[in-house]
Amino acid sequence: MSTQDLHLSNVFKSLEDASALEDLQHVIVETRDRFKVSHAVYHWVSSSGSQYGCGTYDPEWVERYIKQEYLRLDPVISGCYQRFHPVDWRHLDWSQKQVRGFQREAQQYGVGHQGYSIPIHGPHGQFALFSISDHREDADWDTFTQMHRRELILLAHAFNEKALEFEPGKAEETQAHLSPREVDTMTLLAMGYNRAQVADTLSISEHTLRAYIESARLKLGAQNTLQAVARAMSRGMIVV
C-alpha cells in the first residue's frame, strides 16, 4: 500500500471511529491535510431546512454566511442541488451582480477561487455537499481533481453515511452482512478496478459480477455502486 493510500485509509478509519457529529470536525481537518488543499467542508441540509456543517473555513466567514443567509444566494448550493455528479465551481453561474459580490467576499475570507463539490442525496429528502477548495491555477486544479475524483466521491459518501448515523430519532439499522464474493467485489472496486478488471481478477463473467454488485448495493441500502463502496468502507466491511 502506498503512502497516499495509507493516508486515505487513515481518514476512513477516523470516520469509522467517530462517535458523535462533533468528531467529524477532526476528520474534515484530517481530510484537508491529506489532500493538501486550502479547505474541506461537509454541509448537510435536511428536508426540513435544518443545517449541519463541519469544515475548515474561517469561523468569521461561517458566521457571516449564516447571518447573511448566503445559503439562498450560494451558486454551489443551488447549482448542485439537482445534480448527482461532482461539480467544478467554475462551471456554475456566477454572473449575477449579487453572486459576484458573494464570490469576492468568500475569497477575501480565504475560501479560494477553485472549488469542487460532490452532491449527496440521502434518504427522506436529505441533501448534503462535500467540498474542497484551493488557490491553484486552472491547469493544476484540473489535474488534481481528475487524479482524486474517485477518492473524493468515496469520502463524500462516507462522511454522509457517518453523519446519518447521528441523525436524531434515527432507528437502529440491522447490520448488513456481505458474502465473501461481495466483499471481494467491493474491495476491488474501491481499489479503482473497473468492472471488466474485477470480473477478470475474480474469474467470473461480468453478468455474475453485476449480480454481486447489485446484491451488495441492496444489502447496504445504497443508491449506486459508489455509495455502496463508500458504505462498505465506512462500516469496516472492506479494507483497502
pLDDT digits (tens, 9 = 90+) for 163-211: 887 765 554 444 568 888 898 899 899 888 899 999 998 989 998 899 8
Strand duo 51-55 + 87-88: pairing: unpaired
Distance CA 220, CA 229 (A): 9
Q: Residue holding cell 474541506? A: 40
Give how far the C-alpha of residue 236 lies from the chain's centroid of Cα atoms, to the nearest Å: 17
Number of CB atoms found within 10 A of residue 89's CB? 21
Higher pLDDT, 34 or 16: 34
> Does 47 have pLDDT greater than 80?
no
Q: What is the mean pLDDT of residues 100-123?
A: 91
Residue 2 has what DSSP assignment? Answer: -
Specify the pLDDT at position 87.
Answer: 93
Specify the pLDDT at position 1.
Answer: 45
> Does 4 have pLDDT greater than 60?
no
Strand order in the sheet with 127-134: 51-55, 39-45, 127-134, 114-121, 87-88
- In sequence order, the 6+-apart residues with CB closer than 8 A to the CB of 204 are 212
pLDDT more than 70, % of the chain: 88
> Which architecture characterizes domain 3-165 according to CATH?
2-Layer Sandwich (3.30)
Distance CA 115, CA 144 (A): 11
Confidence of residue 2 (pLDDT cuts 50, 70, 90): very low
Task: Give the CB-side neighbour count of residue 93, counting CA atoms within 13 A.
Answer: 8
How confident is the model over 166-179, as pLDDT tens digits?
Answer: 765 554 444 568 88
Confidence of residue 95 (pLDDT cuts 50, 70, 90): very high
Return the C-alpha cell found at 15. Answer: 470516520
Distance CA 79, CA 76 (A): 5
Domain ranges of the chain: 3-165, 180-234
Tell me if residue 83 falls in helix, strand or coil.
coil
Distance CA 119, CA 41 (A): 12
Specify the pLDDT at position 48.
Answer: 59
pTM, two decimals, is: 0.72
Specify the pLDDT at position 100.
Answer: 95
Specify the pLDDT at position 171.
Answer: 46
Tell me if residue 126 falls in helix, strand or coil.
coil
Confidence of residue 112 (pLDDT cuts 50, 70, 90): very high
180-234 classified as CATH 3.40.50.1370 = no
- In sequence order, the 6+-apart residues with CB closer than 8 A to the CB of 212 are 179, 181, 182, 185, 204
Q: What's the mean pLDDT when you consider all of the chain?
A: 85
Q: What is the mean pLDDT of residues 209-237?
A: 85
Distance CA 116, CA 88 (A): 5
How confident is the model over 51-89, as pLDDT tens digits?
Answer: 678 999 999 999 999 899 898 899 999 898 878 789 999
